[in-house]
Chain A
Amino acid sequence: MSQRVEHTLACYGTAIAAAAIFVLFAVAAPNFIHISNLLEILKDSSFLAILGLGFSLSFVTAELDLSFANICSLAAVVTGGLIHEEVSPWLAVLAGLVTGIAGGALNGFLVTRLKIPSLIATLGTASAANGLAFAETGGVAFVGRWDPTFLGVARGSVLGIPNLVLWTAVAAALVQFLLTATRLGMRMIFVGEADEAARLAGVKVRWMKFMGLSLSGLTAGFVAVLLTAHLNSAAPNMAGDFLLTSIAAVLVGMTMFQPGRVNVPGTLLGAFMIGMLGNGLVLLGAPYYVQDILIGVILVASVGLSAATLKKAAFGL
């Protein structure tokens, strides 16, 4: 294989596979290519994408945040609980965001001040967040006929484009700007790639890691608000399933565009790919257990196209 083809496959192999699957679904799955269905995929992928972007911000500083899904559920319960009590929706939104960033900051404190490895610290925070969410609700979801203005945050649209898609675009633009155009973002990446060198260069390593984990929490709070508005309810474990899929979106994203590195376009495409697979297989009529198997196989096969680069990335990590 020529070097050029190899390079193309390494950088765009997963993206090419995603495009191929898209074309396949477009040909084979009834209604897949319909604009309303494509918007549905984008809407459904938006939670994965935004949570993935948040996870990326801790991951670039070489810290793992395994608590974002549970912090998201807790923030959703806080937001939903306040709305249920007929507190001003905007105060409830603020409370959700504060809950998210507080959870992230707690992670940051545990990791940077108490020197607890992020894997353990965030697992602990996740468990505590889960307990708090159940304590708040008693296991019963907050549901009701809530303020349409609040619901419109996630359910509305602008010029036919669903708000969830727009929020995803805003979040992606902000994270891209942060990582590529600000001193803070570049320092976070520097810390993630070589923290000792960064420290010697005068970068405040602990602060960068603290910021990464806090921003991951803030993103979880933001998704909590969107999720609560989208579903008109808040349940104590409502975001639990996003943990692995959001991380998968980030890891799939790391196999394309800038192989081996967290990157915003890759994360977005990774989330879209996961959403597209779920939707396309439903439209094809695949049995639910086959869907799980095929999603696993297709993801592995797609990423396999960039395997050589992945190996390099693994050694790099």
Chain B
Amino acid sequence: MKKIVCSMTILGALTLAAPAHAFTLGIIAFQMSSETHARCANAAADEAKKKSWTVEVLNSGGSLPTHAAQIEDLIQKKVDALIICMGKPVETDSQLADAQKAGIPVVTAVAGASPHTLFDVEVNEFQNGAVAAAYLLSKIDYRGNILEERFEQNVATRERDKVLDAVLSENQAVKVIGVHTMARTKTWQQDVRNGMHALILQNKGNVQGIWASFDGQAYIIDDILQAQGMKKGDVVLVSLDGGPETYRRIKDPNSLLSATVAIPFEQIGQTAVDAVDKIVVHHVPKQQLASGPYILLNATLVDASNVDTMMKP
């Protein structure tokens, strides 16, 4: 019984802690255990707190039914606006329509457009994929063998991988001698390790470049390569996403990670909050912020030449 009383006390405290009439922003991250989702959602939350808004951050845990239920929950809560990081607007079309019907403006981040949302704050992943692919090929002089670590279950990585295919189709002197496609999402590190370890062993000494569709994969591949005794420059390892650990590796003389395309996830979250602030709080017409369904931000290619700039706080 004491436990029940204790739980009730905590719940009561939570209720009392909420300011009475503050602007309430709901933020849903599709998979908070993914670093990129967390960076976007946390940056949005921090930005909203700077404006003294009440913020509620939810984690859908990568589950579509949970994601849909959480949107409905925040509609019931009557939040003033909703930001969804890396959500699934097509799959949650019905819930987003409910939000629109309830007069709750929704901004999505790196999710795709929907007729029921204001717009999506995005980076152009096709462009990012092209930049990374062109960099990889240029560093191996447009000839030789490469390995690929792909991820088909995520829209962004899938787009990057498809662009790599297109770039490779125009560079016939580069051969893909091994592909591993990450299949699991909850034990993905082990999946990548097993797959790439086998490919690297199989093709040792015969690989000039390695493509990883996101940085998390590249860290694992980098560790495998280092464990094999390889040195920077032996193999060109390129991936995408960016972040402190990536920059540390690019700068590290022992690491084989050569470059990344840094996606401004924090800026994406902040831009989404600014958009809500302008449109909902200050009643700026939506068209003044974006003429279409997207606000596109730029990504940056980061390698040894500019990594110091990126590492500055």
Which single member of A47, A143, A285, A294 contacts B7 (CB below 8 Å)? A294
Q: Do A285 and B54 contact each other (CB < 8 Å), given the known contacts A29-B15, A40-B72, A44-B72?
A: yes
1/0 contact trace for B4-18 toward A, CB 8 Å? Answer: 100110111011011
Contacts of A287 in B (CB 8 A): 56-57
Among B32, B54, B153: residue with most chain A CB under 10 A: B153
Q: Do A241 and B76 contact each other (CB < 8 Å), given the known contacts A139-B152, A232-B93, A285-B18?
A: no
> Is A64 among interface residues, defined by CB-CB distance under 8 A?
no
Q: Do A231 and B12 contact each other (CB < 8 Å), given the known contacts A20-B4, A134-B183?
A: no
| Cα-based distance from A287 to B56 in the complex (angstroms) | 7
* A288 adjacent to B58 (CB under 8 Å): yes
With both chains docked as a complex, state the minimum distance between the C-beta of B185 and any C-beta of chain A, in angstroms.
7
- Identity of the chain A residue whose Cβ is nearest the Cβ of B41 in the assembled complex: A288
- Identity of the chain B residue whose Cβ is nearest the Cβ of A238 in the assembled complex: B64
Q: Which of A236-250 contact B (CB under 8 A)?
A: 236-242
> Is B258 among interface residues, defined by CB-CB distance under 8 A?
no
| Cα-based distance from A241 to B63 in the complex (angstroms) | 7
| Cα-based distance from A202 to B277 in the complex (angstroms) | 73
* A40 adjacent to B73 (CB under 8 Å): yes
- Identity of the chain A residue whose Cβ is nearest the Cβ of B69 in the assembled complex: A44
Contacts of A116 in B (CB 8 A): none
| Cα-based distance from A109 to B66 in the complex (angstroms) | 33
* A288 adjacent to B7 (CB under 8 Å): no
Stretch of A30-38, A89-97, A253-261, A309-317 with 4 or more beta carbons under 8 angstroms from chain B: A30-38
Contacts of A241 in B (CB 8 A): 61-63, 65-66
Contacts of A305 in B (CB 8 A): 1, 4
* B90 adjacent to A31 (CB under 8 Å): no
Q: Which of B44-79 contact A (CB under 8 A)?
A: 54, 56-59, 61-66, 68-70, 72-74, 76-78
With both chains docked as a complex, state the minimum distance between the C-beta of B291 and any C-beta of chain A, in angstroms.
25
| Cα-based distance from A141 to B57 in the complex (angstroms) | 26
* A230 adjacent to B78 (CB under 8 Å): no
* B11 adjacent to A282 (CB under 8 Å): no
> Is B35 among interface residues, defined by CB-CB distance under 8 A?
no
* A235 adjacent to B73 (CB under 8 Å): no
* B58 adjacent to A231 (CB under 8 Å): no
* B14 adjacent to A285 (CB under 8 Å): yes
> Is A28 among interface residues, defined by CB-CB distance under 8 A?
yes
Contacts of A134 in B (CB 8 A): 183
* B58 adjacent to A282 (CB under 8 Å): yes
> Is A302 among interface residues, defined by CB-CB distance under 8 A?
yes
* A301 adjacent to B77 (CB under 8 Å): no
| Cα-based distance from A301 to B7 in the complex (angstroms) | 9
Contacts of B7 in A (CB 8 A): 294, 297-298, 301
> Is B169 among interface residues, defined by CB-CB distance under 8 A?
no
Q: Which of A270-284 contact B (CB under 8 A)?
A: 278-279, 281-284
| Cα-based distance from A95 to B88 in the complex (angstroms) | 26
* A232 adjacent to B70 (CB under 8 Å): no
- Identity of the chain A residue whose Cβ is nearest the Cβ of B91 in the assembled complex: A233
> Is B203 among interface residues, defined by CB-CB distance under 8 A?
no
Which single member of B4, B10, B76 contacts A279 (CB below 8 Å)? B76
- Identity of the chain A residue whose Cβ is nearest the Cβ of B4 in the assembled complex: A301
* A31 adjacent to B63 (CB under 8 Å): no
* B14 adjacent to A284 (CB under 8 Å): yes
> Is A17 among interface residues, defined by CB-CB distance under 8 A?
yes
> Is B3 among interface residues, defined by CB-CB distance under 8 A?
yes
Which single member of A17, A239, A300 contacts B65 (CB below 8 Å)? A239
With both chains docked as a complex, state the minimum distance between the C-beta of B307 and any C-beta of chain A, in angstroms.
32
* A288 adjacent to B59 (CB under 8 Å): yes
> Is A227 among interface residues, defined by CB-CB distance under 8 A?
yes
Contacts of A297 in B (CB 8 A): 3, 7
Contacts of B66 in A (CB 8 A): 241
Contacts of B70 in A (CB 8 A): 282
With both chains docked as a complex, state the minimum distance between the C-beta of B14 and any C-beta of chain A, in angstroms.
5
Which single member of B11, B61, B65 contacts A238 (CB below 8 Å)? B65
| Cα-based distance from A305 to B32 in the complex (angstroms) | 33
With both chains docked as a complex, state the minimum distance between the C-beta of B150 and any C-beta of chain A, in angstroms.
10
Among B8, B18, B32: residue with most chain A CB under 10 A: B8
With both chains docked as a complex, state the minimum distance between the C-beta of A228 and any C-beta of chain B, in angstroms.
10
* A283 adjacent to B3 (CB under 8 Å): no
* B64 adjacent to A231 (CB under 8 Å): yes
> Is B158 among interface residues, defined by CB-CB distance under 8 A?
yes
Contacts of B183 in A (CB 8 A): 134, 139
* B64 adjacent to A24 (CB under 8 Å): no
* B65 adjacent to A30 (CB under 8 Å): no
- 22 CB-based A-B contacts, threshold 8 Å: A28-B12, A31-B78, A36-B76, A44-B65, A138-B152, A139-B183, A140-B153, A141-B88, A227-B65, A232-B90, A232-B93, A238-B64, A241-B65, A242-B65, A278-B73, A279-B73, A283-B76, A284-B14, A285-B77, A297-B7, A298-B4, A305-B1
Which A residues have a C-beta under 8 Å from some C-beta of B?
Answer: 17, 20, 24-25, 28-31, 34, 36-37, 40, 43-44, 47, 134, 138-141, 143, 151, 155, 227, 230-233, 235-242, 278-279, 281-290, 294, 297-298, 300-302, 304-305
Given A139-B153, A241-B63, A284-B14, 5 new contacts (CB under 8 A): A20-B8, A227-B65, A284-B18, A285-B14, A290-B14
Top 6 nearest A-B pairs (CB, nearest first) are A301-B3, A139-B152, A139-B153, A233-B91, A241-B63, A282-B73
